[in-house]
Amino acid sequence: MNRTSDEFRILSATAILGYGFPEQSFQNGLRKKPHLIAADAGSTDPGPYYLGVGKSFTSRTGVKRDLRLMIREGVRRGIPVVIGSAGGSGARPHVDWCEAIIREIAREERLRFTLGIIYSDVPKSLVGRALARKAVKPLACVPRLTREALDATTHLVAQIGVEPFIRALDRKCDVILCGRSYDPAVFAALPIRLGYDPGLALHLGKILECAAIAATPGSGADCAFGTLKKDSFIVEALSDVRRFTPQSTAAHTLYEKSDPVHLPGPGGEIDLTQCSFTDIGGGRVEVRGSRFVPTRKNWVKIEGARPVGFRSVSIAGIRDPMMIRQIDSIIEAVQRQVKSLLRRERLRGEVFFHVYGRDGVMGRMEPVKKTRSHELCMLLDAVGETEEAAETLLSLTRSTLLHYGYPGRVATAGNLAFPFSPSDATMGVVYEFSVYHLLELDERRLFPVYVRNIS
């Protein structure tokens, strides 16, 4: 593909594969004759479990539905389709899982195309050597990476930039499926390859990676459209119920960023100090002034997760106003009693009390200190070294809280109302992010492109 016009048009299908999108919005986007159909399929927002265990956080049925529409229309119309962060977390199991879905779609729709596969897994040995030469540094509020944490990591991926995608496009791949990747890269790689300004292309990709979330009212389950020009780009919604405004577009530019005008990524940052957002009518916004500033060294973000124990949970309601008023002292007393009961067993673990209706969402950061709710939801969260330890901690804590005799208690039955039977649920292995760091890395020497002829 060569640059043949003064604009490059991109159809962003959905914020994450499996979230879905209205077929009418997608068809509206196709009528605008896009040069690219793309979706960033993943995020770390659902936490470390899905990366650690190698499982998708969206359903197979939902992912297949979204991919079917994108690939069928892209292949039949000769429009490249690019998918990043496959399976949500982008490790090898996620990519292989997504590839199997693509092959099913090809058989069912009788499609022929060239599929490019890019794995973004990073060998732990490579990171270990980089650690030794101090080429690994933590992100803000993250401890330094240790060899112990690295060795315990089950899956380790890099958030790769545009270079591997460009190599796949050079090999004339019709559909590109990539592991964990920098969110804007799936949208920016092809226009950058064609000579468009990288600052504008990456900034446009930053907005399109969440599809219509940047519109108002926002939705990740709807399509968005971007038009890249020589010195600006335009974003617009593809549904009659949404529109882009300067405020919504600028607000999403700041989304998930600690610095409002410098957005770091692989190999550099997007500088927005001279950026402007202009309403040009029809629910469209034109953006100018975005610049890409390369860094001297190429740093990429790496992500990894490791198992740290087992979890069991129980959910219960509290309606007694006397108990609600004393909930803090009751929790402390229950913790002391359970600890004394288990002193000889020496179980290793901890129980966390999440009190919804008081501070269940924000915890200690909750600014409202007085509980005004007439009822509370208590989520007991037990994490133990073994599954049996977690179950034992939860069972004893739940039963102790259920019958604890607090001052002013009137009821002779239980203190808690359980919506489910059984009241306790085993959640399996608990993972934590063990790697959330920056790695000095030359992407040109890693992440090869594997080409498959699908027929």
**Range with the poorest average pLDDT among 162-176, 201-215, 438-452:** 438-452
Alpha helices in 275-383 (DSSP H): 321-325, 327-341
Is residue 293 within 8 A of residue 424, CB to CB? The reply is no
In this structure, the answer to whether residues 257 and 164 fall within a common structural domain is yes
Query: Taking Cα atoms as reference points, which of 357, 400, 408, 399 lies closest to residue 378?
Result: 357
Q: Would 311 be classed as within a structural domain?
A: no
CA distance 264 to 272: 11
Mean pLDDT throughout 47-72?
A: 97
d(CA 39, CA 301): 20
pLDDT (mean) for 164-178 = 97
User: For 443-447, what is the mean pLDDT?
Assistant: 78
Asked if pLDDT for residue 288 goes beyond 60, the answer is yes
**pLDDT digit string (tens) for 116-135?**
999 999 999 999 999 999 99
Is the domain of 173 the same as that of 201? yes
Residue 1: band (very low, low, confident or very high) from pLDDT cuts 50, 70, 90: very low
Q: Which two tokens stand for residue 204?
A: 């446009």
Residue 133 is predicted with a pLDDT of 92
Section 451-455 average pLDDT: 94
Mean pLDDT score, 205-219? 95
Answer yes or no: do 369 and 243 share one domain: no
pLDDT score recorded for residue 444: 67
Q: How far apart are CA 388 and CA 399, in angstroms?
A: 16
Rounded to whole angstroms, how far apart are CA atoms 289 and 271?
9
Q: Give the confidence band of 371 by pLDDT, cuts at 50, 70, 90.
A: confident
Within this chain, do residues 198 and 223 fall inside the same structural domain, yes or no?
Answer: yes
Does 40 share its domain with 188? yes
Q: Are residues 182 and 154 in the same domain?
A: yes
Residues 23, 163 within the same domain: yes
Report, as an integer, the average pLDDT of 191-211: 97
Question: Cα-atom radius of gyration of the chain, to the nearest Å?
Answer: 25
Domain span at residue 370? 320-416
Residues 440 and 327 in one domain: no
Same structural domain, 141 and 48: yes
Least confident of 58-67, 262-271, 296-305, 440-449: 440-449
Angle at 65 between CA 59 and CA 68, to 5 degrees: 135
Q: Is residue 315 part of a domain?
A: no
Q: Which pLDDT value is given to residue 88? A: 96
**Average pLDDT of every residue of the chain:** 95
Domain shared by 242 and 374, yes or no: no
Q: What is the mean pLDDT of the segment spanning 21-41?
A: 97
Q: Would you state the pLDDT for residue 394?
A: 98
pLDDT of 2 > 60? The answer is no
- Model confidence at 254, pLDDT cuts 50, 70, 90, reads confident
Query: Poorest-confidence range of 5-9, 421-425, 433-437?
Result: 5-9
Q: What is the pLDDT of residue 196?
A: 97
Tens of pLDDT, residues 70-90: 999 999 999 999 999 999 999
Per-residue pLDDT tens for 324-363? 999 999 999 999 999 998 888 888 999 999 999 999 999 9
The answer to the question of residue 430 being in a domain is no
**For residues 240-256, average pLDDT:** 91
Question: For residues 260-276, b (16+ Cβ closer than 10 Å) or e, as one string?
Answer: eeebbbbbbbbbbeebe
Better-predicted residue by pLDDT, 318 or 371: 318
How many independent structural domains does the chain possess? 2
Whether the CB-CB separation of 299 and 438 falls below 8 Å is answered with yes
Give the Cα separation of 54 and 90 in Å (integer). Answer: 9
